[in-house]
């Protein structure tokens, strides 16, 4: 496999010293929500820079082929906690339950001598296990309720800022302690409805951002499930709820309820109106239609999304600065990743769920003591994070985990026989006012090809990602590619057998 790792001699030497086993690193995982690689500067700078994530990547390892196993919020967190695919850990959808008999990452790190904390979004049905401290963020972005062991308290302030404050405070309490810490910080604000923090509302007010090549995709040649998906920017975003337009008559989604729903104070609302008001007036006057209307919606959506991302990047910057001030930078391994990627207008969509690249891929950057500097092109998944963190902590990785430690890759070592394919599965069938109707599917991706299967339609899709990076030419059933399709079908069956998929 192609590799572009540049070994850092100093880091490699440090890696080999017993200090990491005897004096183990703190582990800080900064985990965002729905953060696509296309909105991380060190992956793709067409839309934005993310100075703090980019700086972390510059002094650490960036995984260029980092994927999830099931592109949706709750299941991704269950994979993180168990090192098991969704079908194996039981959390296949946002509502189904995580198996109770499995050891979870926090418990395993506690057993290895770590103080553990989780702060921010949780999105799993049961309370945290294995965390000495937990503070779970719920509710709106401008007034966030935090649930702790002591109860639930609403706090006025933007979710990103409050989560950052709590993370810095908790890490400060660990300074001077005898145990290393593991902190899992879960930002929420890059998730729908993309309500930016007040200090980032002014970004991107002038000029348009570039559109993706497939904003006006017609879904030709693909499964009917792609066309049926309710994630279209053109059709499925709610005017007030998502697009911040002054629309009434949509009940809880309309403008009359917006202050309450978003938890805005009068000050928030005044600031909000000062930015969106004039733009909304111009929009209503222009009476846009057709492609022009889609383009306007895309710009409103992508700018709010990137404003929210800017807040998270700034939060990471504050967290890293606090580590440096406390002298913890040299003893703390920092991971930046997201629960999954997101469609930023590709295929005309917002949201995630599909195995197509924008939602399937997710950022993964790791930096700190013993971590080499460079890029790794090997295929990795969120499945690998639990084994990796246990490995970095000097703890045993339980044999039942399906992920593999990235420790050697992070040390700059090539790994013979590293996996040449990853498995994906999506299970959720949703309904109701805000639903997405993505059909369950599963598939395999190698370094170049992707094959996916949609059982509802008994339909296959096959893409050559080198020739067709936007995944618009479905080669399944094309006789020229029959051999390739047979090979990938067999590879997919092997992976399903290895991971013990029973359905
Ligand atoms: Ca998510």
Q: How far is the CA of 326 from the centre of ligand 1 (A)?
A: 31
Q: How far is the CA of 199 from the centre of ligand 1 (A)?
A: 23
> Pairing mode, if any, of strands 332-338 and 364-367?
antiparallel
**Dihedral sign from CA coordinates of 112, 115, 119, 124:** positive
Dist CA 117 CA 181 (whole Å): 8
Domain residue spans in the chain? 12-195+305-419, 223-301, 426-498
Q: How far is the CA of 77 from the centre of ligand 1 (A)?
A: 9
Q: Do the beta carbons of residue 66 and residue 482 sit within 8 Å?
A: no
Q: How far is the CA of 78 from the centre of ligand 1 (A)?
A: 12
Residue 150 has a CB neighbour count (10 Å cut-off) of 8
Phi, psi torsion values for 181, nearest 5 degrees: -120, 155
Q: How far is the CA of 170 from the centre of ligand 1 (A)?
A: 24
Residue 9's pLDDT is 31
Q: What DSSP element (H or E) covers 70?
A: none
Q: How far is the CA of 464 from the centre of ligand 1 (A)?
A: 27
Residue 261's pLDDT is 74
Neighbours of ion ligand 1 (CB under 5 A): 33-34, 73, 339
Residue 110's pLDDT is 98
Phi, psi torsion values for 413, nearest 5 degrees: -95, 140
Helix axes 290-325, 51-58, angle to 10 degrees: 60
Q: How far is the CA of 72 from the centre of ligand 1 (A)?
A: 5
Q: Do the beta carbons of residue 49 and residue 56 sit within 8 Å?
A: no
Please list the residues that pair with 332 across neighbouring strands: 26
Residue 415 has a CB neighbour count (10 Å cut-off) of 16
- Three-class DSSP labels, 299-347: HHHHHHHHHHHHHHHHHHHHHHHHHHHCCCHHHEEEEEEECCCCCCCHH
Dist CA 104 CA 253 (whole Å): 37
In the chain, what's the furthest Cα-to-Cα distance? 68
Q: How far is the CA of 333 from the centre of ligand 1 (A)?
A: 23
Dist CA 110 CA 118 (whole Å): 13
Dist CA 214 CA 481 (whole Å): 24
Of the candidates 350, 354, 348, the residue with the CA atom closest to the CA atom of residue 452: 354
Q: Which CATH number fits domain 426-498: 3.30.1490.390, 3.30.1120.10, 1.10.3720.10, 3.40.50.1450?
A: 3.30.1120.10
Q: How far is the CA of 13 from the centre of ligand 1 (A)?
A: 37
Half-sphere exposure of 88 (CA within 13 A, CB side): 23
- Global pTM value: 0.94
Q: How far is the CA of 305 from the centre of ligand 1 (A)?
A: 13
Of the candidates 302, 383, 305, 371, the residue with the CA atom closest to the CA atom of residue 71: 383
Of the candidates 120, 114, 117, the residue with the CA atom closest to the CA atom of residue 133: 117
Please list the residues that pair with 145 across neighbouring strands: 138, 154
Q: How would you list the strands of the sheet with 364-367, edge to edge?
A: 4-6, 373-376, 61-63, 364-367, 332-338, 26-32, 181-186, 115-120, 133-139, 143-148, 151-156
Which CATH architecture fits 12-195+305-419?
A: 3-Layer(aba) Sandwich (3.40)
Residue 5's pLDDT is 39
Residue 145 has a CB neighbour count (10 Å cut-off) of 15
Residue 401 has a CB neighbour count (10 Å cut-off) of 21
* pLDDT tens, residue order, the chain (503 aa): 334 433 333 333 333 333 333 489 999 999 999 999 999 999 999 999 999 999 999 999 999 999 999 999 999 999 999 999 999 999 999 987 899 999 999 999 999 999 999 999 999 989 999 999 999 999 889 999 999 999 999 999 999 999 999 999 999 999 988 999 999 999 999 999 999 999 999 999 999 999 999 999 999 999 899 999 999 999 999 888 899 998 766 665 666 667 777 888 889 989 999 999 999 999 999 999 999 999 999 999 999 999 999 999 999 999 999 999 999 999 999 999 999 999 999 999 999 999 999 999 999 999 999 999 999 999 999 999 999 999 999 999 999 999 999 999 999 999 999 999 999 999 999 776 678 889 999 999 999 999 999 999 999 999 999 999 999 999 999 999 999 999 999 999 999 999 999 87
Q: How far is the CA of 195 from the centre of ligand 1 (A)?
A: 15
Of the candidates 108, 110, 139, 109, the residue with the CA atom closest to the CA atom of residue 122: 139
Q: How far is the CA of 434 from the centre of ligand 1 (A)?
A: 15
Q: How far is the CA of 194 from the centre of ligand 1 (A)?
A: 12
Q: How far is the CA of 182 from the centre of ligand 1 (A)?
A: 21
Residue 485 has a CB neighbour count (10 Å cut-off) of 18
Dist CA 255 CA 303 (whole Å): 20
């Amino acid at each position: 496999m192609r590799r572009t790792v540049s070994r850092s001699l100093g880091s490699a030497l440090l890696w080999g010293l017993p200090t990491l086993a005897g004096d183990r690193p703190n582990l800080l995982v900064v985990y965002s929500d729905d953060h696509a690689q296309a909105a991380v500067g060190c992956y793709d700078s067409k839309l934005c820079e993310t100075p703090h994530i980019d700086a972390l990547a510059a002094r650490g390892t960036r995984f260029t082929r980092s994927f999830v196993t099931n592109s949706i919020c709750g299941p991704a967190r269950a994979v993180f906690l168990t090192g098991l695919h969704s079908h194996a850990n039981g959390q296949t959808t946002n509502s189904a339950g995580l198996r109770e008999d499995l050891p979870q990452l926090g418990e395993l790190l506690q057993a290895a001598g770590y103080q553990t904390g989780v702060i921010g979004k949780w999105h799993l049905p049961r309370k945290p296990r294995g965390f000495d401290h937990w503070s779970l963020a719920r509710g709106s972005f401008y007034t966030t309720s935090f649930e702790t062991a002591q109860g639930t308290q609403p706090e006025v302030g933007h979710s990103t800022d409050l989560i950052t404050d709590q993370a810095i405070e908790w890490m400060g309490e660990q300074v001077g302690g005898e145990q290393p810490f593991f902190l899992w910080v879960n930002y929420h604000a890059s998730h729908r409805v993309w309500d930016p923090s007040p200090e980032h509302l002014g970004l991107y007010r002038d000029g348009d951002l570039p559109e993706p090549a497939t904003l006006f995709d017609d879904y030709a040649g693909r499964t009917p499930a792609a066309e049926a998906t309710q994630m279209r920017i053109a059709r499925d975003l709610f005017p007030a709820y998502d697009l911040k337009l002054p629309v009434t008559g949509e009940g809880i989604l309309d403008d009359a309820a917006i202050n309450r729903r978003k938890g805005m104070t009068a000050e928030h609302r005044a600031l909000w109106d000062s930015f969106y008001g004039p733009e909304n007036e111009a929009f209503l006057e222009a009476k846009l239609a057709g492609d022009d209307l889609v383009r306007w919606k895309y710009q409103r959506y992508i700018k709010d999304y990137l404003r929210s991302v800017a807040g998270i990047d700034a939060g990471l910057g504050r967290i890293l600065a606090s580590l440096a001030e406390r002298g913890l930078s040299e003893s703390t391994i920092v991971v930046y990743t997201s629960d999954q990627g997101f469609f930023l207008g590709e295929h005309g969509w917002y949201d995630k769920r599909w195995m197509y690249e924008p939602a399937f891929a997710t950022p993964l950057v790791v930096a700190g003591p013993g971590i080499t500097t460079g890029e790794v092109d090997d295929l990795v998944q969120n499945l690998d994070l639990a084994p990796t963190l246990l490995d970095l902590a000097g703890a045993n990785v339980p044999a039942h985990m399906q992920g593999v430690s990235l420790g050697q890759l992070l040390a700059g070592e090539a790994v013979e026989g590293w996996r040449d394919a990853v498995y994906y599965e999506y299970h959720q069938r949703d309904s109701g006012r805000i639903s997405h109707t993505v059909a369950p599917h599963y598939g395999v991706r190698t370094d170049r090809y992707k094959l996916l299967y949609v059982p509802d339609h008994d339909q296959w899709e096959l893409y050559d990602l080198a020739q067709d990076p936007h995944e618009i030419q479905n080669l399944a059933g094309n006789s020229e590619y029959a051999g390739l399709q047979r090979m990938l079908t067999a590879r997919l069956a092997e992976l399903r057998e290895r991971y013990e998929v029973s359905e």
